[in-house]
Amino acid sequence: MGRKPKINQNQPKKNTNNSESFKKADNKIVAQKQPKEITRLRGMRDILPDEYRYGDYVVSVAERICRAYGFAKTEIPALEQVSLYERSTGKQTDVVSKEMYAFVDKDNERVALRPEATPGLVRSYIEHGLFNLPAQPVRLLWTGSLFRREKPQAGRYRQFSQVDVEMFGEASPVADAQLITMGYLILKELGIAAAVQINSIGDAADRDEYAKKLVEYFKDRKVRVLLSVDDKKRLLKNPLRVLDSKDEGTQKALAGAPQMIDHISDEARQHFVKVLEYLDEFDIPYTLNPFLVRGLDYYNRTVFEFCPEGEDGSSQGTLIGGGRYDGLVEFMGGRPTPALGWALGVDRVVLKLKEKAPQSAGPAMDAPDIFLAQLGDAAKRKAMVFFEELRVKGYRVAQNFVKDNLKTQLEQANKLGVKLTLILGQKEIMDNTILIRDMESGMQEVFDFAKVYEEIDKRLK
Ligand code: HAM
């Protein structure tokens, strides 16, 4: 065995030369001698218990509301064929062309870590023939991690979590409004003030026509010079993406640009008007944003994003993003199936929650009511059995059986803020009794062990 590699306990640095310690020889990866620090990769995070509870809380609220609206949990693989994302998310999108973790595996297959869940859920819907299910439309709910090799910054990570909902087989604008309502209700219950921005990008043919109009508009040199270098490239590859550019020059250039909403078909417009009417009916506040197009290829008609109130929807701010994708299921080999969905970025919602209430935000650790302390070997053994009995009966109990010192255990009980500490020592074992200490008054009394439940129930009431 060689020397152990060091573990860096600080923030990860940009991974500069780790790969230099490895060399390829005879197709085997061989570690060279000098040990390198092992750190988290850039943009990847460990989420420690104190932080994790926020995410847990967000997911539990979101999932509860989605389930109430008929969505059922489902799982998909983290690894899929590259072509799944190329065909659905879109080869030219930033997500696929720049950010996807894609590689050739040992079977020579091009695989990718999922950068979003929608394509996998569409594949799963088609592959398992879910259009045959008796309950239609099909409502899927998914929660998990995704991977995008983006430039890391606050609220933008290379591994992040989403709660994602997808509805298959429903063309009615009620579905659009209902999905948006669910997102609104989730953020409202979490106490996060967010505004819905909404737009209609029409159907595929409208989009193509409009893209031509936009390209035409930018042929005018006076507006073209205002475009950033990146947006000039976008105009060639994916003209609609220029619309949601954050570049100041581009935004100026867009001031006189033709608006998508004026170039969509009558059917698409009627659909959109209905969605807005339902939102009014449900009392969901929204803002029309003619420049909202979303960065994924599959959308048509309604697209929307929830941004924290007062923020303009810069890409790190968006909390929920989604829309319709009526053509995707068929494009991926399924039957023609109208569909729509959204994804909530758990990490970003957590950031907002913590901003609001840094220490005390709703998701408290499961606070125990009772601490079970023990002193001596026989007492420890009895306490371990008793603890399990209490747990199964539904009492919230804490313990620290690895400690022998009673003072340490009482200090811990104090810190946890429990109401009662139950103490088993050698004497209590001999007499078949138990000590109950009221942590507020500091009074302690001995009880017959057989009466323990009666007494704790009385005191916890
Ligand atoms: P998206 O806009 O790419 O849409 O992502 C949805 C949400 O995921 C964003 O609004 C944001 O909160 C979060 N998110 C995205 N990238 C990151 C990141 N690098 N770090 C942290 N959070 C991030 C989709 O993924 C679509 N699949 C949504 C959808 C479902 N459309 C229809 N169905």
- Categorize the per-residue pLDDT at 1 as very low, low, confident or very high, splitting at 50, 70 and 90: very low
pLDDT tens per residue across span 131-187: 999 999 999 999 999 999 999 999 999 999 999 999 999 999 999 999 999 999 999
pLDDT tens per residue across span 193-221: 898 999 999 998 998 899 999 999 999 98
Report the C-alpha gap between 201 and 139 in whole angstroms.
Answer: 24
% of the chain with per-residue pLDDT over 70: 89
- Contact yes or no for 234/332 (Cβ under 8 A): no
pLDDT tens per residue across span 71-115: 999 999 999 999 999 999 999 899 999 999 999 999 999 999 999
- Write out the H or E segment, with its range, that includes residue 60: helix 49-68
Q: Is the pLDDT of residue 3 over 70?
A: no
Report the C-alpha gap between 32 and 267 in whole angstroms.
Answer: 65
pLDDT of residue 26: 54
Q: Which atom of ligand 1 is nearest to the CA of 344?
A: 7
* Cβ-based burial of 159 (10 A; exposed 0-12, middle 13-18, buried ≥19): middle
* Ligand 1 geometric centre to CA of 283 (Å): 25
Q: Is the pLDDT of residue 18 over 50?
A: no
* Ligand 1 geometric centre to CA of 71 (Å): 19
pLDDT tens per residue across span 382-441: 999 999 999 999 999 999 999 999 999 999 999 999 999 999 999 999 999 999 999 999
CATH class of 370-460: alpha beta
Whose CA is closest to atom 13 on ligand 1? 345
Residue from 199, 318, 319 whose mutation best tests the ligand 1 pocket (most atoms within 8 A of CB): 318
Mean pLDDT of the chain: 90
- Write out the H or E segment, with its range, that includes residue 424: strand 420-424
* Ligand 1 geometric centre to CA of 99 (Å): 13
Query: How far from each other are the two terminal CA atoms of the chain, in whole angstroms?
Result: 59
CATH superfamily of 49-203+264-356: Bira Bifunctional Protein; Domain 2 (3.30.930.10)
Q: Is the pLDDT of residue 34 over 80?
A: no
Looking at per-residue pLDDT, the higher value among 403 and 30 belongs to: 403
In the chain, where are the structural domains located? 49-203+264-356, 370-460
* Ligand 1 geometric centre to CA of 193 (Å): 19
pLDDT tens per residue across span 120-143: 999 999 999 999 999 999 999 999
Token pair, residue 276, equals 């807005």
Whose CA is closest to atom 2 on ligand 1? 321
pTM of the model: 0.86
Report the C-alpha gap between 230 and 238 in whole angstroms.
Answer: 11
Whose CA is closest to atom 21 on ligand 1? 156
As a residue count, the chain comes to 461
Residue from 71, 98, 124, 162 whose mutation best tests the ligand 1 pocket (most atoms within 8 A of CB): 162
The residues lining ligand 1, judged by C-beta closer than 6 Å to any ligand atom, are 116-118, 148, 150, 155-157, 160, 162, 164, 166, 318-323, 341-343, 345, 347-348
